[in-house]
Structure 1
């Protein structure tokens, strides 16, 4: 019985070691670097999936504002799932879209629409929201 308990403890410790090393390695992964560099390099970044209606909704907000976001279509990349994992590590969510403006995480589709309707999005982008409302 004591031998079985030791094996169980050993298995649990080994599992934690493997889990800990895999979590630590994703923080410095090429995909994590890609996410960080992409967010830093562009004023507006949307991590998206081309078929997602929520992603289309978030992209439509920027079209209304006459702004062109940098869009990363995760489903069209071989490493898309790895990028989504790295994004999840960064913000704590796996859902798409995920929108960033000037390096600041805005959120998903609902958050983006809410920021648009409140005028916060125009303010973050440094554009006059009144002109867009007249369109």
Structure 2
């Protein structure tokens, strides 16, 4: 089994998300398409530029959104002083409110990837034994591997 999955692989479902403002702040966030298998208040793993982070799925009057992505699940639960990797990536890529980004559904309800429209990327395959080993390593590091 391959250890990398391309974003255009048949097993990866891609939707378009839109950059928006987070509430009354100037910080960007992502409005997500309704077609994704998401639950408000759940935590997902989010792959951005090859690195995996943790994000909480939020809900507002227009649907689901992601306000941030963090190194640890505990930081996603309480982001107060943690580095927001989603905001960093959006700013680094010059994404403004109204701009699209692609969101790849790698493992429905659990693992997603972000990329710019038209770009192709590869995701690490965590479905086999390597994924289980990663979960064990995360548990040893004190990180909850349930998303």
Give me the TM-score of the superposition, normalised by structure 1. 0.25
> Which is greater in Rg?
1
Which has the larger share of helix?
Answer: 1
Larger relative CO (CA 8 A, sep 6+): 1 or 2? 2
TM-score (norm. length: structure 2): 0.24
